[in-house]
Amino acid sequence: MSLLVDSTVALPRIAADLRGVAEVRWENHKALVCLVGENIRRQPDVASRVFAAVSDMEVRVVCQGASDRTISFLVEESKVEESVQRLHGIFFPQREPVRDWGGISSAFCQAG
């Protein structure tokens, strides 16, 4: 079982409460990255593209089964921005902006 908390202040108390049920350990300085999209769990290529993007990073606690709309994982806090930028690069590639040629077709403008 995994438990995410936004502050480490309560961790000793939480760990004490859980010790009677399970072995407890925790890691600090991790960040949750969550990819959200319609039915992404049912698209096997999505998970492979996600983890290819972060294949050189230490990825922890992968969760895909909780929802049809999310794939979540942990990375080092220092890598969260880079991992999100990589995912954006894969799923939201920059497109060439549409040019306004003032009503003249782009084919005409490029040809002559």
What's the pLDDT tens digit per position in 16-72? 888 888 888 888 888 989 988 887 877 878 888 998 999 999 998 787 766 778 888
Residue 78 has pLDDT above 90, yes or no: yes
Q: How far is CA 57 from the centre of its chain?
A: 12
Domain count, the chain: 1
Which CATH number does the domain housing residue 44 bear?
3.30.70.260
Q: What is the pTM of this model?
A: 0.69
**24 in any annotated domain:** no
Cα distances (Å, whole numbers) of residue 108 to 56, 96, 111: 46, 18, 5
Does 62 or 77 have the greater pLDDT score?
77
Is residue 90 assigned to a domain?
A: yes
Q: Which range among 5-14, 27-36, 84-93 shows the weakest confidence by mean pLDDT?
A: 5-14
Q: Which residues of 76-89 are buried (b: 16+ CB within 10 A; e: fewer)?
A: beebbeebbebbee
- Domain span at residue 52 reads 29-94
